[in-house]
Amino acid sequence: MSETTIVETGKRPEVASSSPGEWIRKNLFSNIPNTILTIVFGVFALYAIRGLLGFILSGERRWEAVATNMRLLMAQGYPANQFVRVWVALGCLMVLTGLSLAIWNAKGQLPIKKISNWTMNIGFGLMLFAVLAPISPSSRLGWVIAGVLFLTFGFGLWMSTKNNQNRTLDSIPTVWFSFGFLGTLVLSLWIVPFGHYAFTNGELVAETGRTVAMSTKLPFTVMWVLLVCSYCVIIRVRDYLPTGQAKALLVGLWFLSPFVLNWIVLRDPDFDYGHVISTDVPVAALFIFAGGGILYLLTKPSLGELGRLTAIALLIFGVFNWVAAFFGWYPMLQKVRISFVLLALAALIAPNFAADRRTRLKFVTGWGVLIVISHWLITAVNSPSTLELQGPTYLGGFSLTLFVAVLTLLLSFPLGVLLALGRTSSMPIARVLCTGYIESIRGVPLITILFFFSNILPLFLPQGMEIAELAAIVTGYTLFSAAYLAENVRGGLQSVMRGQYEAADAIGLTTSQRTGFIVLPQALRVSIPPLVGQAIGVFKETSLVAIIGAYDILRIANNVVPAQTEFLGVKREGLLLVSVIYFIVAFSMSKYSQRLEERVGLGER
């Protein structure tokens, strides 16, 4: 997909704007039933807004419970002395975002007219708030003044776009607008003292100077600077960079980031360097060089059938290692077993890279990188952590929610694609197995699957083998979400024309080449919108882990905060905050998917 699809080529014809009076007549009071509807529902809406504001601003609400527990809600019991790791992880994501924005050269433009509309809407909203909210008259006046200011500013902007016919600036880049918006939010931390609350001798007092904003304003400023700087630097030198390779590198980094940030940055493994040098490095080197040599030989174009036979032999050996592990025939490092399977899989796809020396070396280099990263991560996971934990895990609160959602999505994607391929294949046994799996998983609620994996799975494991609670949850959730994902991908697969298969067969592609290079790219392109929809669903349903006892943001808001002696039974505030957080993420994802749908051009044909 080149950039040409991203650039908005044509503008929509401008609708002749009608005067406000006309607009009101047309949309609100066009005839008698319409007028009645407007009045009835207008009164209802005002009443509902007033009720909601009354609920939020009522004196009984104890929002300080949320403000004081913000760290608990976001990153549960992460040790305070190492909290900088959380900021480092967030900073890495910011840098990646800035780099991606620059490399993909986001060219969206935001018309000034739209901004003026938004500003005026905010002004109206503030006025409405001032009128409806149950606040003191003096602060009411303040809100009215703020509303009037916004209104005048927006109106001025609007007039400037109208009068100035040969205008030079009728829109600004969306990226800069977003940076400005985020910058304002960060700036507000320095000015507005969010949450003046701290505990002194077990009593809640409004301390001056020590605020929630206090402890986070510096880190958040650093985050913002990282984001903007990484964008600015790269956008300057973008023209001198090999864009294609940079994009590939960035996609790889994004893919790696959840694993590296979680298991290396946040968990901080305490590597046993003696063991690393004596065992881990030699094993990895052996796989890189010996495995790389084998792969280099296997990609020789004149090799023919021998290559496939070797790959199959490797696969059988790789699987046999696991069977041997089950029966305990001979000891072997888990890492080595995994690496053998990876080698077999690489050998199976090797014939696709049988070309000139350059391509073969590229393939072998890719293998080396894969081994380095996978061995690094496996060693990190198996090393003890340096964190001093109170709870069972260092993840908690919103970070746990994010981690479970991202990991589930990443893991369930390949599994779902395989299931979809199995269900649409012409092989009867494979089809029956896949269909049975998909339908039975889709028939039961997620919560029963999660109960199964957290309560019953330990019964099925070999004696002495244990599975961490979080791992069991992610496993169950992955298996569940893969069945749904498979149905979405199947829809895409069914939309691929029969002629595409026949054309692929006609030019002599093998089945795997046909699937990988012809069918799947077309099928996945069609199923992008439903897949984004499913990603939203997975993110929302991550909240279910609260029921089986994981300390995600919902469980903390619903069970932990109301149990604190200072905030006994304060539940609604936390739950409202959780709703708002989920809403912001899910709503922006769904808006993005709508834009994506327009861009892919689905529904247009």
Partner 1 sequence: MSTDTEVQPSNYHHQKPPFYRDATVVKWLFQVGALALVVFALWFLSSQARDNLSARNISTGFDFLSIDPGINLSEGIDTRPATGGRALWVGMVNTIRLATAGIFFATVIGLFIGLARLSNNWVVNKLGSVFVETLRNIPLLVQILLYGAILANLGDLQFDSGWDNWVIWSNKGLSVPRVFIADGFYQWAVFMCIGALAARWMYNQRSGLHDKTGENTHPGLGSFAVLTIFGIVGWFIHPIFGWVGNIFGAISDGISKVPEEVLQLVLSAVAISIAANWIRGFLASRRTPGGSARLTDDDKFRIIFAGVGSVLAILVVFVVWPGLSSWIINSSSDLFEVLENKFGDGRTGGPFGVDRPEVVKPGKFEKYGPSGLTMSLGFAAVFFGIVLYTAAFIAEIVRGGILAVPKGQIEAANSLGMKRSTALRTVILPQALRVIMPPLGNQYLNLTKNTSLAIAVGFSDLVQVGQTVGNQTGKNLSVFAIWMLFYLACSLTISVAVNFFNVRLRIVER
Q: What are phi and psi of 416, to 5 degrees?
A: -65, -40
Task: Kindly indicate which of the ranges 276-284, 364-372, 388-396, 570-578 contains the residues binding partner 1, using the contact rule CB under 8 A.
Answer: 570-578
Residues 6 or more apart in contact with residue 182 via CB below 8 angstroms = 224, 227
Closer CB to partner 1, 367 or 480, in the complex: 480
User: Residue 148: is it exposed, middle or buried by C-beta count within 10 angstroms (0-12/13-18/19+)?
Assistant: middle
Position 145 contacts partner 1 (CB under 8 A): no
Closer CB to partner 1, 269 or 492, in the complex: 492
Residues 6 or more apart in contact with residue 15 via CB below 8 angstroms = none
Contacting residue, 64, 268, 280, 541, with partner 1 by CB under 8 A? 541
Which residue is listed with tokens 């959380």? 86
Closer CB to partner 1, 395 or 557, in the complex: 557
Task: Kindly indicate which of the ranges 279-287, 368-376, 491-499, 579-587 contains the residues binding partner 1, using the contact rule CB under 8 A.
Answer: 579-587
Contacting residue, 554, 556, 560, 561, with partner 1 by CB under 8 A? 554
Position 525 contacts partner 1 (CB under 8 A): no
Two tokens at 218?
């510096």
Closer CB to partner 1, 247 or 571, in the complex: 571
Instruction: Please give the Cα distance from 299 to 359 (Å, whole number).
Output: 9
Which helix (H) or strand (E) element contains residue 546?
A: none
Task: Kindly indicate which of the ranges 36-44, 170-178, 280-288, 467-475 contains the residues binding partner 1, using the contact rule CB under 8 A.
Answer: 36-44
Which helix (H) or strand (E) element contains residue 323?
A: helix 305-327
Position 583 contacts partner 1 (CB under 8 A): yes
Contacting residue, 21, 137, 428, 601, with partner 1 by CB under 8 A? 428
Which residue is listed with tokens 């007219």? 113
Contacting residue, 540, 564, 597, 600, with partner 1 by CB under 8 A? 540
Position 430 contacts partner 1 (CB under 8 A): yes
Closer CB to partner 1, 247 or 300, in the complex: 300
Instruction: Please give the Cα distance from 554 to 373 (Å, whole number).
Output: 34
Two tokens at 543?
């909240």
How far, in whole angstroms, is CA 428 from its chain's centroid? 36
Two tokens at 580?
């708002």
The three-state secondary structure class of 17 is: coil
- Write down the least CB distance from residue 65 to partner 1, Å: 13
Position 493 contacts partner 1 (CB under 8 A): no
Q: How far is CA 380 from CA 227, 259, 314, 537, in A?
A: 28, 10, 27, 31
Closer CB to partner 1, 109 or 425, in the complex: 425
Closer CB to partner 1, 103 or 577, in the complex: 577
Task: Kindly indicate which of the ranges 202-210, 215-223, 263-271, 586-594 contains the residues binding partner 1, using the contact rule CB under 8 A.
Answer: 586-594
Contacting residue, 75, 86, 485, 578, with partner 1 by CB under 8 A? 578
Task: Kindly indicate which of the ranges 137-145, 304-312, 358-366, 367-375 contains the residues binding partner 1, using the contact rule CB under 8 A.
Answer: 304-312
Task: Kindly indicate which of the ranges 1-9, 25-33, 266-274, 277-285 contains the residues binding partner 1, using the contact rule CB under 8 A.
Answer: 25-33
Position 587 contacts partner 1 (CB under 8 A): yes
Closer CB to partner 1, 186 or 434, in the complex: 434
Position 199 contacts partner 1 (CB under 8 A): no
How far, in whole angstroms, is CA 453 from its chain's centroid? 24
Instruction: Please give the Cα distance from 462 to 331 (Å, whole number).
Output: 16
CB neighbours of residue 573 within 10 Å: 21
Position 592 contacts partner 1 (CB under 8 A): no
Contacting residue, 5, 17, 18, 30, with partner 1 by CB under 8 A? 30
Report whether 318 contacts 343 (CB < 8 A).
yes
Report whether 257 contacts 96 (CB < 8 A).
yes
The three-state secondary structure class of 298 is: helix
Contacting partner 1 within 434-463 (CB under 8 A): 440, 442-448, 451-452, 455-456, 458-463
Position 547 contacts partner 1 (CB under 8 A): yes
- Write down the least CB distance from residue 535 to partner 1, Å: 13
Instruction: Please give the Cα distance from 109 to 174 (Å, whole number).
Output: 5
Report whether 186 contacts 224 (CB < 8 A).
yes
DSSP state of 261: I
Which residue is listed with tokens 């003890």? 384
DSSP state of 9: -
Q: How far is CA 388 from CA 78, 79, 82, 391, 394, in A?
A: 9, 7, 9, 9, 9
Position 576 contacts partner 1 (CB under 8 A): yes
Closer CB to partner 1, 266 or 441, in the complex: 441
Contacting partner 1 within 317-356 (CB under 8 A): 326
The three-state secondary structure class of 38 is: helix
What DSSP assignment string belongs to 458-507? HHHSPTT----HHHHHHHHHHHHHHHHHHHHHHHHHHTS-HHHHHHHHHT
Closer CB to partner 1, 91 or 416, in the complex: 416
Closer CB to partner 1, 292 or 422, in the complex: 422
Closer CB to partner 1, 526 or 544, in the complex: 544
Q: Taking the CA atoms of 23, 177, 593 and 483 in sequence, report the sign of the dihedral they define.
A: negative
Position 54 contacts partner 1 (CB under 8 A): no
Position 42 contacts partner 1 (CB under 8 A): yes
Position 586 contacts partner 1 (CB under 8 A): yes
Position 63 contacts partner 1 (CB under 8 A): no
Position 52 contacts partner 1 (CB under 8 A): no
- Write down the least CB distance from residue 514 to partner 1, Å: 12
Closer CB to partner 1, 388 or 466, in the complex: 466
Chain residues that interact with partner 1, rule: CB under 8 A: 27-28, 30, 34, 37-38, 41-42, 44-45, 305, 308-309, 312, 326, 426-430, 433, 440, 442-448, 451-452, 455-456, 458-463, 536, 540-544, 546-547, 554, 558, 571-572, 575-576, 578-579, 582-583, 586-587, 590
